[in-house]
Amino acid sequence: MKRDERAFWNERVRDIAPYTPGEQPRDRRFVKLNTNENPYPPSPLVIEALKQAVDDRLRLYPDPECWELREAIAGRFEVQPEQVFAGNGSDEILAFAFGAFFADKVLFPDITYSFYPVYAQLWGVPFERPQLSGDFSINLDDYTKESLHAGVVFPNPNAPTGRSMDALAVLSIVTARKDSVVIVDEAYAAFAKKNLSAAPYIATNPNLLTIHTLSKSASLAGLRVGFAIGDESLIEGLRRMRDSFNSYTVDRLAQVGAVAVMKDKAYYDYITRKVVNTRERVSAALSSMGFEVIPSDANFIFIRSPSRKGEVLFERLREKGVLTRRFNDPRIADFLRVSIGTDSDMDMFLEACRE
């Protein structure tokens, strides 16, 4: 008799539906446009810094407080190091934040980053998912009129739609929820056509936390570094969560590489402009073919074919060697999220769409 593979799982593990990451193929035959990685390499300063750090110091634990990195981030964002928290990717920081700041209820859009309901279930936090409007924009009233004590989390720009809100719209939610924490996940904010970041407003909004990653705009998805910016009390809450799991979440090499990122703003501004220019060119080309293209401020686009179901388009593109991302939510089942690659990558993608 075969033993139940779940026999030793507790109720939390049995009930949770884990996040499913995008496919990571083991061969090189695909144009990989499914996981929002940056198509350009990290700064040469980052590579050199990592090479210099590979020495006998690896026998030592890294700085658990990431002070050099926090000082570098603080200098870039014009805040204090005490207002910065560094972690092993933004996903880890989001997980800590759900555990530290949400209890009674949390609100996030019905179409958004699919890790949010996983975190809520993991921590036992009730959640509601206000529906995005027909054009996939956030309805501010859903987050400002609610009278119950509830936290809020959303990406800006949103994922997987790419739509964004300006900072004033974000602040209207923050001020309406002054007794609850509002988390703005700014993973893709660097690719916006104008500055969307709410980080400059943390000094006057102690309930505001912005979360950032070096996986997208900094081309360091393989190094796993994220950071949060917020009031010192929020940073202390994240620190308490971290130290209840593992005080050394950011390894020595990751800290070195991330510090180097902060020293080469010119390089990263350059490759970000390249991604944005390619995004606009590809969006226009798809629109001319009859595709519905949601206006995007991210390093991806959200599209729907005029003639193919989403599942069919996804499979046809895969057969042609192009990987994209499709989600099973009925409301967006016919849409694909397409990461922006190099110009040659996107030319291959457009040709496959034409065919």
Provide the pLDDT for residue 327: 93
Give residue for tokens 């924009």.
137
Q: What is the pLDDT of residue 146?
A: 67
pLDDT of the residue at 15: 84
Q: Which one-letter amino acid corresponds to residue 316?
A: R
Q: How are beta strands 292-294 and 84-87 bridged, if at all? A: unpaired
Confidence band, pLDDT 50/70/90 cuts, at residue 12: confident
Cβ-based burial of 239 (10 A; exposed 0-12, middle 13-18, buried ≥19): middle
Tell me the DSSP string of 189-200.
GGGSSS----GG
Q: Token match 């880890």: residue?
A: 92
Residue 221 has pLDDT above 70, yes or no: yes
Taking the CA atoms of residue 336, residue 198, residue 108 and residue 334 in that order, the dihedral angle to the nearest 10 degrees is -10
Q: Do the beta carbons of residue 340 and residue 282 sit within 8 Å? A: yes
Reported as a single tens digit per residue, the pLDDT across 255-281 is: 999 999 999 999 999 999 999 999 999
Q: Which two tokens stand for residue 280?
A: 């606009």
CATH class, 44-263 region? alpha beta
pLDDT digits (tens, 9 = 90+) for 276-329: 999 999 999 999 999 999 999 999 999 999 999 999 999 999 999 999 999 989
- State pLDDT tens for residues 163-172: 999 999 999 9
Q: What is the pTM of this model?
A: 0.94
- Strands (DSSP E) found in 79-124: 84-87, 106-107
Instruction: Yes or no: say if 182 and 174 are a contact pair by the CB < 8 Å rule.
Output: yes
Query: Which are the contacts of 157, defined by CB distance < 8 A and separation ≥ 6?
Result: 163, 164, 188, 189, 191, 192, 196, 296, 297, 298
DSSP 271-317: HHHHHHHHHHHHHHHHHHTT-EEE--SSSEEEEE-SSS-HHHHHHHH
Question: pLDDT confidence of 25, banded at 50, 70, 90?
Answer: confident
Per-residue confidence (pLDDT) for residue 24, from 0 to 100: 80
List, by residue range, all CATH 3.90.1150.10 domains of the chain: 25-41+266-354
Which CATH number applies to 25-41+266-354: 3.90.1640.10, 3.40.50.2300, 3.30.420.40, 3.90.1150.10? 3.90.1150.10
Structure tokens at 282: 């590809």
CATH 3.40.640.10 domain range(s) in the chain: 44-263
pLDDT of residue 322: 96
What pLDDT digit, counting tens, does each position of 58-116 carry? 999 999 999 999 999 999 999 999 999 999 999 999 999 999 999 999 999 999 999 99
Q: What is the pLDDT of residues 132-154, one digit of tens each?
A: 999 999 999 999 986 667 999 99
Q: 226 pLDDT band (50/70/90 cuts)?
A: very high
Q: Give the model's pLDDT for residue 149.
A: 78
Residue 6, pLDDT above cutoff 90: no
Sheet holding 300-304, edge to edge: 292-294, 300-304, 335-339
